[in-house]
Structure 1
Amino acid sequence: MANAKLNEQMPLRSSETTFGQEESYLRMITNRFLKHKLAVLGLIVFSLIVLTAILAPLLAPSDPYAISEEFAAKPSDAHLLGTDQVGRDLLSRLIYASRVSLSVGVGAVAIYVVIGTVLGAMAGYFGKWIDMVIMRITDVFMSFPYLMVILVLVSIMGPSLANIIIVLGLLGWPPIARIVRGSVLSIKEMDYVKAGVALGYSTPKIVFQHILPNCMAPILVNATFGIAQAIIMEASLSFLGMGVQPPTASWGNMLTEAQSLTVLSSQPWLWIPPGLFILLAVLAINFMGDGLRDAMDPKTLK
């Protein structure tokens, strides 16, 4: 009876130990991240931008699409950042534009992380001809001029928020696939994976429950930088007139006003605020990515 009770308690203690180890690991990663001052600053700035996007209806002083009689007016008490060329309040449009830019960044990255992770895991785990086919497809995608292909696809599909997210998501997966493949190639040779195969675990269970969780560090770091890249790409497309179309506001299409030398020299309130928001968002995300990379680097974990 004593042995039976002891055997019943063994799995419980093992699970408690595993949970304790995971909690300790997460606490260690968090503490290392918090020691990275620029990463913490980036997290604060990015959190403020996200809150601005969420609370846009409450923070915006007026309707971002409402047209007033003041065209390209200077900043004043009525319009803190002035108005654009058709009389819309720039502060309101700037606040609502954060929703569009963050949607593009998060949406595109979510799509290509899923695609890249699945393809990379298949290539690394199965190897042989599957690996060869997937990697050759990856090489083909990476050999095309990225911006040119995006411009062609967006022009064919039509410039819109959904199309930009889809195009960026479908073209951004190769780097993730190569990272995941390399991680899977090394992890699948470890003893616990071989033990799972010997015990008869199914392939999806081995890959998704035992291998991919150990690949999350490089995936998260790459995804963080990918959000910043997607925001810049959306701003570039919108600046060229191939992105989000007016009257919908995005930081990129607000910068189209800067194509005029007159605006650049005499109406800086039209282009400096969206430019600063892009700069702050990208820097904040990059700082967070640097801190996350340093915190999760196995070579420096103690």
Structure 2
Amino acid sequence: MSMNMHNEMTAPEAIPSLLSSKGERFESDSYAKMVARRFLQHKMAVAGLASFVLLVLIGVFAPLIAPYDPNAIGGAFSAAPSAQHWLGTDQVGRDVLSRLIYATRVSLSVGVLAVAIYVIVGTVIGAVAGYMGGWVDMVVNRVIDVVMSFPTLMVILVLVTVLGTGLSNIIIVLALLGWPPVARLVRGSVLSLRQTEFVKAGVALGLSTPRLIFGHILPNAMGPILVNATFGAAAAILSESSLSFLGMGVQPPTASWGNMLNAAQSITALTSQPWLWIPPGLVIIVSVLSINFIGDGIRDAMDPKKLNV
């Protein structure tokens, strides 16, 4: 009798804890599956993801795919497309297709690395400012206002002139100018999440500030961060292409989409040698559109107003 009574008393106490752990895991899995399902229903986003993955694979396996060395002079100058050179040759006899394939590696690395750096920096700064508040928040906000008050293109040109051209310097410059919008976005999300019950419960339980910020608050603010990162990657690719087109980005003989366009800006190339500028221009358009479609898909998939649809 006493054992039955003991079981009846302990069983109900054990059930909530089991339901809590299993329920949280089930809720997390269900949310992830729901977001993935909604993303897959976005046809343009799926097409963009497929195109972007294809571009990444082309960049990764460029040495295996490219028919020629991108810097080797192996054909006639500005030769039209042929069986030997599918996209023709440039002004010094280099294979355009090979240079386009290797340029994919360079241009995408700028977009991915620059965005990865400034998203991490902006997320940390914005999360700390939003959670700590007070003078920390005030100082961070003033720094963000100062950085965002400068004309971006002019600052990029000045910094590239001071630091020098090259792939690593472009990544550093874009990262230096890209973190303030992310920090402001994360700060706003953290300010709203800081007042929620689960954060107050974590404070009451004595959880450390880093654990609260990075273990509990930021995972609930990842949606806007991911969307910002995708659009930022597209903007970084355009910025690199613009700088290279102006002769202040990646320098020859290293191939990038921008300096391929720069080499084809003569009237002769524009009018009678379209194989020099149409392929890199099309690849830039495809890459930027693909990333933007991915961002649209993530935004729609993680929209809380549509998650129950």
Give the structure-1-normalised TM-score: 0.96
Correspondence for 1:77: 83
SS of the residue 2:165 aligns to = coil
Task: Supply the distance in 1 between the matched residues of 2:221 and 2:303 (Cα, whole angstroms).
Answer: 12
Q: CA deviation at 1:16?
A: 2.5
Q: CA deviation at 1:62?
A: 1.1
Task: Supply the distance in 1 between the matched residues of 2:201 and 2:297 (Cα, whole angstroms).
Answer: 35
Correspondence for 1:173: 179
2:45 paired with 1:47: no
Task: Give CA-to-partner distance per residue, 1:244-270, whole Å, 9 cap, x none.
Answer: 011111001100023211110111100
2:225 paired with 1:219: yes
Task: Supply the distance in 2 between the matched residues of 1:209 and 1:221 (Cα, whole angstroms).
Answer: 20
Give the partner amino acid of 2:33.
R
Q: Pick which of 8-17 and 217-226 moved more.
A: 8-17
2:128 corresponds, among 111, 122, 145, to: 122
Maintained 8 Å contact 2:76/2:93: yes
Q: CA deviation at 1:54?
A: 1.4
Task: Supply the distance in 2 between the matched residues of 1:134 and 1:191 (Cα, whole angstroms).
Answer: 26
2:261 paired with 1:285: no
Alignment of 1:54-65 (within 5 A): 54-65=60-71
Task: Give CA-to-partner distance per residue, 1:6-36, whole Å, 9 cap, x none.
Answer: 7677645432222211111011001111111
Correspondence for 2:201: 195
Give the partner amino acid of 2:303.
D
Task: Supply the distance in 1 between the matched residues of 2:93 and 2:16 (Cα, whole angstroms).
Answer: 71
2:251 corresponds, among 227, 230, 245, to: 245
Percent identity, please. Answer: 66
Q: Pick which of 211-220 and 194-203 moved more.
A: 194-203
Task: Supply the distance in 1 between the matched residues of 2:59 and 2:18 (Cα, whole angstroms).
Answer: 44
Q: CA deviation at 1:69?
A: 3.9
Give the partner amino acid of 2:190.
V
Task: Supply the distance in 2 between the matched residues of 1:5 and 1:82 (Cα, whole angstroms).
Answer: 77
SS of the residue 2:99 aligns to = helix
2:261 paired with 1:255: yes
SS of the residue 1:249 aligns to = coil
Give the partner amino acid of 1:256.
N
Q: Pick which of 7-16 and 265-274 moved more.
A: 7-16
Question: Which structure is larger by alpha-carbon Rg, 1 or 2?
Answer: 2
Correspondence for 2:151: 145
Correspondence for 1:274: 280
Distance 1:161 1:28, change over 3 A: same
